[in-house]
């Protein structure tokens, strides 16, 4: 039977993986995706709003985004926000919509992105190891408080290590897939 504390640790590690996957959606691979614009905010009548809350974003082609604001008065602000972002994209405003062409990535830029993905993966692995460390401490405390025997503590620590290893393997697999995606163009 799996110990409830192990399930708890596993769920926390799953959250680290989910956060890593969400962060990866913002890494540009040469393909257009609305997620590229996540995190970019627009000044909408004095309030900073995410782009997807002031406009619809579509992908008519694999290398193009079309941003159609619900209020055309926000077009100049949308344009400014995209130019200011670190994405290196150039928006074209035709008075009704903004078209953003996604240029193919240079070899140098691909290598930078791979380094970024590796850094993000390492941060996620550290987060998972921190969960492991916290639960190892929890098991030692449970033994000290005589909630579990020494044998149970070692068994739980072994199981926790297996859970940790499988989560780190997932991070490495996701990282590998993203790296392939970046390098394939």
3-state helix, strand, coil in the chain (%, to 5): 60, 15, 25
pLDDT at 1 over 70: no
Tell me the per-residue pLDDT of 86-114, one tens digit each, with 9 for 90 and over.
777 888 889 888 998 888 878 888 888 89
Q: What does the pLDDT look like over 113-124, one tens digit per residue? A: 899 899 999 999
Mean pLDDT over 48-66 rounds to 88
Residue range 64-79, pLDDT digits in tens: 889 999 988 888 888 8
Return the CATH number of the domain spanning residue range 34-101.
3.30.1360.40
Run of H or E including 144: helix 107-144
Classified as helix, coil or strand, 96 is coil
Residue with tokens 């290398």: 63
Long-range contacts, 116-121 (Cβ 8 Å, 24+): 116/27, 117/24, 117/27, 117/175, 117/178, 117/179, 117/182, 118/175, 118/179, 120/20, 120/23, 120/24, 120/27, 120/175, 121/20, 121/171, 121/172, 121/174, 121/175
Residue 63 scores a pLDDT above 50? yes
CATH 1.10.132.20 range(s) for the chain read 4-27+106-184
What is the average pLDDT value for the chain, to the nearest integer?
88
Q: What is the CATH number of domain 4-27+106-184?
A: 1.10.132.20
């Amino acid at each position: 039977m799996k110990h409830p504390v192990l399930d708890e640790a596993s769920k926390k590690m799953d959250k680290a993986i989910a956060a890593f996957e969400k962060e990866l959606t913002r890494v540009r691979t040469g393909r257009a995706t609305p997620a590229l614009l996540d995190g970019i905010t627009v000044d909408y009548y004095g309030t900073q709003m995410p782009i997807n809350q002031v406009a619809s974003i579509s992908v008519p082609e694999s290398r193009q985004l079309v941003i159609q604001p619900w209020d055309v008065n926000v077009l100049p602000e949308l344009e400014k926000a995209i130019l200011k972002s670190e994405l290196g994209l150039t928006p074209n405003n035709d008075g009704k919509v903004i078209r953003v062409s996604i240029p193919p990535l240079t070899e140098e830029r691909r290598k930078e992105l791979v380094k970024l993905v590796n850094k993000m993966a390492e941060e996620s692995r550290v987060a998972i190891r921190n969960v492991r460390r916290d639960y190892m401490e929890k098991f030692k405390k449970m033994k000290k408080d005589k909630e579990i025997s020494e044998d149970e503590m070692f068994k739980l620590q072994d199981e926790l290590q297996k859970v940790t290893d499988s989560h780190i393997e997932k991070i490495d697999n996701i990282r590998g897939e993203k790296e392939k995606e970046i390098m394939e163009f």
